Amino acid sequence: MSRLREMVESHRVIVCCGAGGVGKTTTATGLALAGARSGRRVLALTIDPSKRLAQTLGVARNLKEPAPVPHSFLVAAEATAGSLHAWMLDPQLVADRSVDKLSPTPAVAARLKANRMYKQLARMVAGMQEYTAMEALHGFLDDGAYDLVILDTPPSRNALDFLDGPRRLERFFDGRIFQLFLPGEKASFIGRAASNLIHRAMSGVFGEATYLELQEFFGAFENIMYALTRNALRTREKLSDAETVAFLLVTSPAPEALEDAHLFRHKVEDLGLPFGGFVLNRSLAAGVARVMPDRSMLGDAPTAAEISGLAKLRRLAELEWAAVDEDRALLAELTERAGPGAVALALPTFPDGAHDIGGLVQVARSLTA
């Protein structure tokens, strides 16, 4: 049995990371479908599926909780043995929920949620999406409704952004920053002095009202941030079990693929998370055997035009073969770097796309073949 199939059948969490546009959402959806096909209760957590994929899966924005994908989809995908829920993560909603849960009283929660700074948080702070994805995952790991959660990570420039996200957010909410903003007796002596300075500067620049909002925000969010950080640490602990969790890197056959793979693997291992392997998407290494055009294809008495056409075709085919060889070499290199316990797998480009049922079933099959 293929290693990825084993993961789909026995793991609890698979996280798909990768640079922008490489095929994370496609891979995550394919894996989720493969899980449902093997009889598991699967949840696909995604941040921003393409419009067509969202339509296919029937996921809408701003849903409060995961929704089952339409039954007709499961029937068409021969996946009725299991179940498939999808949820399009809304960072704001997840943050609001944490605020509700972690605030001392509903009134405090309501005040914080109405704060203008808070409302800007998801947009303002790099790492918020990644952080809330971890937070959502934390909740779903505790509740027994799903056998397998597939996490599709947010679009980002770099595959490592997702892993760095929580840390970047922690840095933003660094204790020293709180100290500067915390009003009155909660701040240290230095904090108070700086706070007075900031007060004067900020009220001068933005006006008193904005500064007060900032203070209120930092004051109220401090405790929540500590709780969120605790959850993130707990989630990370839960995610460190190599028996049930895998972090996959989805990559494309670009020149930087090997470098990305190297950085990703080290980062994942540095964080104490289980490395699951590489999915090389849109790779010619996954193609079917190709035939080189030759004279025998032309019959007994080919015309000059046919012979010249054939020569041109041969040159094209040679170029194509060279590209196939390159992708195969890349896959071989990734296989070696992945090591025995991990996956290195090539997905072809599906000519009709990978966002409708037919395409996604092909993705699911190729991933677990």
Ligand X SMILES: Nc1ncnc2c1ncn2[C@@H]1O[C@H](COP(=O)(O)OP(=O)(O)OP(=O)(O)O)[C@@H](O)[C@H]1O
Burial string for 94-104 (b: 16+ CB within 10 Å, else e) reads bbbbbbeebbe
By CB under 6 A, residue 179 contacts ligand X? no
Ranked by CB distance to Mg ion, the top (closest) residue is 25
The full length of the chain comes to 369
List the structure tokens of 280. Answer: 């090389």
Q: Which stretch binds ligand X (CB under 6 A): 19-27, 101-109, 253-261, 271-279?
A: 19-27
Residue 20 as a binder of ligand X (CB under 6 A): the answer is yes
How many chain residues bind Mg ion (CB under 5 A)? Answer: 2
Residue placing its CB nearer to Mg ion in the complex, 24 or 355:
24
User: Measured in Å, how far apart are the chain's first and last C-alpha atoms?
Assistant: 8
Specify the residue, 26 or 231, whose C-beta has the smaller distance to ligand X.
Answer: 26
Report what 26 binds from Mg ion, ligand X, none; CB cut-off 5-8 Å by kind.
ligand X
Q: Does 56 bind Mg ion (CB under 5 A)?
A: no
CB 90 within 8 A of CB 61: yes
Task: Determine the interface stretch with Mg ion among 21-29, 159-167, 271-279, 357-365 (rule: CB under 5 A).
Answer: 21-29
The whole-angstrom separation of Cα 206 and Cα 220 is: 20
DSSP string, 111-162: HHHH-HHHHHHHHHSTTHHHHHHHHHHHHHHHSTT-SEEEEEPPP-SSTTHH
- Should residue 251 be labelled a site residue for Mg ion when binding is judged by CB under 5 A? no
Residue 249: CB atoms within 10 Å: 32
Asked if 252 interacts with Mg ion (CB under 5 A), we say no
Q: Which is nearer to ligand X, 103 or 281 (CB)?
A: 281
Among 355, 360, 361, 364, binds ligand X (CB under 6 A): 355
Task: Provide the sign of the torsion angle of the four alpha carbons 231, 232, 235, 236, taken in this order.
Answer: negative
User: Shortest gap between Cβ of 13 and ligand X (angstroms)?
Assistant: 18
Nearer to ligand X, 86 or 102 (CB): 86
Q: Which of 139, 126, 171, 125 is nearest to 45 (CA)?
A: 139
Question: What CA–CA distances, in Å, run from 107 to 104, 110, 218, 269?
Answer: 8, 5, 16, 42
**Is 369 near ligand X (CB under 6 A)?**
no
Residue closer to Mg ion, measured from CB, 25 or 231: 25
Binding mask 126-155 toward ligand X (x if CB under 6 A, else -) reads -----------------------------x
What is the closest distance, in whole angstroms, from the C-beta atom of residue 348 to ligand X in the complex? 6
Q: How many residues bind ligand X (CB under 6 A)?
A: 18
Alpha-carbon span 44 to 87, nearest angstrom: 6
Provide, rounded to whole angstroms, the least separation between the CB of residue 19 and ligand X.
7
Question: Of residues 6, 10, 21, 256, which one binds ligand X by CB under 6 A?
Answer: 21
| Shortest Å, Cβ 28 to ligand X | 8
Q: How far is the CB of 249 from ligand X (least distance, A)?
A: 11
Interatomic CA distance for residues 131 and 143, integer angstroms = 19
Task: Select from 11, 25, 253, 334 the one that contacts Mg ion (CB under 5 A).
Answer: 25
Name the maximum alpha-carbon separation found in the chain: 98
Residue 87 parent element (H or E)? strand 83-88
Residue 302, classed as helix, strand or coil, is coil
- Kindly state the smallest distance separating residue 141's Cβ from ligand X, in Å: 23
How many whole angstroms separate alpha carbon 131 and alpha carbon 229?
Answer: 9
If one asks whether residue 226 binds ligand X (CB under 6 A), the answer comes out as no
- Asked if 172 touches ligand X (CB under 6 A), the answer is no
Q: Using CB under 6 A as the criterion, which residues of the chain lie in contact with ligand X when the complex forms?
A: 18, 20-26, 50, 155, 281-282, 347, 349-350, 353-355
Task: List interacting residues with Mg ion (CB under 5 A).
Answer: 24-25
